[in-house]
Chain A
Amino acid sequence: MSATALSYRKTFSLILKRDLTIAFRHKDEMLNPLLFFIIVVTLFPLGIGPETNTLAKIAPGIIWVSSLLATLLSLDRLFKADHNDGSLEQMLISPQPLFIFTLAKICAHWLLTGLPLILVAPLLAVLLHLPEQSYQALFLTLLFGTPVLSFIGAIGAALTVGIKKGGVLLSLIVLPLYIPVLIFATSAIDTASMSLPYGGQLAIIAALFFGTLTLAPFAVGAALKVSTN
């Protein structure tokens, strides 16, 4: 009956379910980053020209940069609504440890933005004439890389949640921190396109994933405490 009777797992699943329910009631908000991703990717062939070889060469970069930007666009609403209606404060003062909440919220964010990106990416890869042997690398780097984007981005979102017009500031803060993921992911896909083993790059992305998985929820918690004050 007391609030402490909630186990960590229960708290996690409650928050996750809550966030997913809220998101499914505003479907267009969920779809917008995805549409943005698709449109940005289509802009590149229009700007650069339709030569197959050029496109195939820059496809990993385009897909990854676009997914960085799409993730960035969706970060703003990660804590904003909860901050506005006061539920964020309730989470902060509840007896459950803060990292459970933040972990659940970030996981929900990834399910709503990262996962759709992974599902759409192969289609865009076909449009950009990505070599066939790179598909697996593209999938795996996105699978491990997009959660990293959500985790690091959540830190920035938590820091800027109290600021009125935090959108541009958020990108200024978060984009430099995204660089390692971008470098290793595109290098893995490039290596794969030459039919070479890309396990090393993938291992580093996975290491980044587990590092941020364990550390970022705490940083997000500290940041939320500062910005809700």
Chain B
Amino acid sequence: MWKWLHPYANPEVSYHFTDKIKPWFGWATFLLLSIGFVWALLFAPADYQQGESFRIFYIHVPSAILSAGIYAGMATAALCSLVWQFKLADASVSALAPIGAIFTAIALVTGAAWGKPMWGTWWVWDARLTSELILLFLYLGVIALNNAFDDKQMAGKAAGILALVGVINLPIIKYSVEWWNTLHQGATVSKLGAPAMAAEMYWPFLFCFLGFIGLVGYVTCIRFQTEVISRNKMRPWVRALVCDNNQPEEAK
């Protein structure tokens, strides 16, 4: 496996590989999300209790799941960078943190918009809401630390350590707030095989969820490329890349 992975430690190879897989993510996202959103927002049946406002579910739940998932991915990258000293893993930590923060924010905002008609309030100090808010704070801490250093390599490493400390703390925070106070409903879709919802509601959700995953992949590719380029901007291959891109315009 190491032999197979080895060439990707080179920033240039990684950059071009990312370039290759990026359109796949892009098209998959476009297809899945357009099918998923149209199906979910127009054709899926309304909930018998919650009515139409239930449709926020199709944005709220995928982004809530992904907010935690991206954190796990970021922490894995941080661990790889710390243990095996992969420089590109630092770049992916820096690339993933803002994406995770945005998805956490989406989950919080859509959650508040859903909470208003359902619970009659924008915000309650409930376990899940609170731990999601704290997750947002953790992301913002990682981003702030990442921006505080002038040296990008150092910044990535420091942010990685913080992400790892956060991942140890995350379950503790989650359970502490859960025992502290709870109102949010339990998980409905995580039970694989036997989801606690009707199939005609579940399928559009699956499309949306996969579409959101593709979106994360796509945005990560873009941000990762940017990070790689900004870390290697003095290298000949980056200069050659920039010159190649500029040539046609100059020719005009």
Residues of A near any B CB (own CB < 8 A):
152, 155-156, 159-160, 162-163, 166, 169, 172-173, 175-177, 179-180, 183-184, 187, 204, 208, 215, 219, 222-223, 226-227, 229
Are B176 and A179 touching (Cβ within 8 A)? Answer: yes
Are A187 and B145 touching (Cβ within 8 A)? Answer: no
Question: Taking the nearest CB of chain A, how far is it from the CB of B201, in angstroms?
Answer: 35
Write the B127-155 contact mask toward A (1 if CB under 8 angstroms, else 0). 00000001001101100110011010010
6 contacts between A and B (CB under 8 A): A155-B161, A163-B148, A177-B169, A208-B172, A223-B161, A227-B154
Are A180 and B144 touching (Cβ within 8 A)? Answer: no
Contacts of A215 in B (CB 8 A): 168
Are A222 and B161 touching (Cβ within 8 A)? Answer: yes
Contacts of B68 in A (CB 8 A): none
Are B140 and A162 touching (Cβ within 8 A)? Answer: no
Does B177 make an interface contact (CB < 8 A)?
yes
Are A173 and B134 touching (Cβ within 8 A)? Answer: no
Question: Taking the nearest CB of chain B, how far is it from the CB of A165, in angstroms?
Answer: 9
CB within 8 Å for A226 and B161 given contacts A160-B148, A172-B141, A173-B144 = yes
Contacts of B157 in A (CB 8 A): 226
Which secondary structure dominates chain B's binding surface? Answer: helix
Candidates A175, A180, A183, A227; contact of B158 at CB < 8 Å: A227
Are A169 and B144 touching (Cβ within 8 A)? Answer: yes
Q: How far is the CA of A173 from the CA of B164 in the complex (A)?
A: 12
CB within 8 Å for A183 and B141 given contacts A160-B148, A177-B169, A226-B161 = no
Contacts of A156 in B (CB 8 A): 162
Are A177 and B144 touching (Cβ within 8 A)? Answer: no
Q: How far is the CA of A166 from the CA of B166 in the complex (A)?
A: 19
Are A187 and B154 touching (Cβ within 8 A)? Answer: no
**Contacts between the two chains (Cβ within 8 Å), count:** 71
Are B138 and A176 touching (Cβ within 8 A)? Answer: yes
Q: How far is the CA of A200 from the CA of B11 in the complex (A)?
A: 50
Contacts of B158 in A (CB 8 A): 159, 223, 226-227
Residues of B near any A CB (own CB < 8 A):
82, 134, 137-138, 140-141, 144-145, 148-149, 151, 154, 157-158, 161-162, 164-166, 168-169, 172-173, 176-177, 179-180
Q: How far is the CA of A175 from the CA of B141 in the complex (A)?
A: 10
Q: How far is the CA of A163 from the CA of B166 in the complex (A)?
A: 20
Are B176 and A176 touching (Cβ within 8 A)? Answer: no
Which secondary structure dominates chain A's binding surface? Answer: helix
Are A222 and B82 touching (Cβ within 8 A)? Answer: yes
Contacts of A152 in B (CB 8 A): 165
Q: How far is the CA of A175 from the CA of B137 in the complex (A)?
A: 9
Q: How far is the CA of A33 from the CA of B141 in the complex (A)?
A: 24
Q: Which of A177, A227, A229 counts the most B-chain CB atoms under 10 A from its CB?
A: A177
Question: Taking the nearest CB of chain A, how far is it from the CB of B95, in angstroms?
Answer: 19
Contacts of A183 in B (CB 8 A): 176-177, 180
Are A176 and B134 touching (Cβ within 8 A)? Answer: yes
Question: Taking the nearest CB of chain B, how far is it from the CB of A103, in angstroms?
Answer: 17
CB within 8 Å for A173 and B169 given contacts A160-B145, A187-B180, A226-B154 = no
Q: Which of A166, A173, A184, A219 counts the most B-chain CB atoms under 10 A from its CB?
A: A173
Contacts of A160 in B (CB 8 A): 145, 148
Q: How far is the CA of A223 from the CA of B155 in the complex (A)?
A: 11
Candidates B144, B149, B161, B179; contact of A162 at CB < 8 Å: B149
Q: How far is the CA of A201 from the CA of B162 in the complex (A)?
A: 26
Given contacts A159-B162, A162-B154, A226-B161, 11 further A-B contacts (CB under 8 A): A155-B162, A159-B158, A175-B137, A176-B138, A177-B138, A180-B172, A183-B176, A184-B176, A187-B180, A215-B168, A222-B82
Residue of A nearest to B151 (CB): A229
Residue of B nearest to A225 (CB): B157
Contacts of A159 in B (CB 8 A): 145, 158, 161-162
Contacts of A219 in B (CB 8 A): 161, 164-165
Q: How far is the CA of A187 from the CA of B175 in the complex (A)?
A: 14
Question: Taking the nearest CB of chain A, how far is it from the CB of B179, in angstroms?
Answer: 8
The 3 tightest CB contacts between A and B, nearest first, are A176-B137, A180-B176, A173-B141
Q: How far is the CA of A125 from the CA of B168 in the complex (A)?
A: 33
Candidates B82, B145, B179, B180; contact of A173 at CB < 8 Å: B145
Q: Which of B82, B137, B144, B161 counts the most A-chain CB atoms under 10 A from its CB?
A: B161
Candidates B148, B164, B173, B180; contact of A169 at CB < 8 Å: B148
Q: How far is the CA of A180 from the CA of B158 in the complex (A)?
A: 23
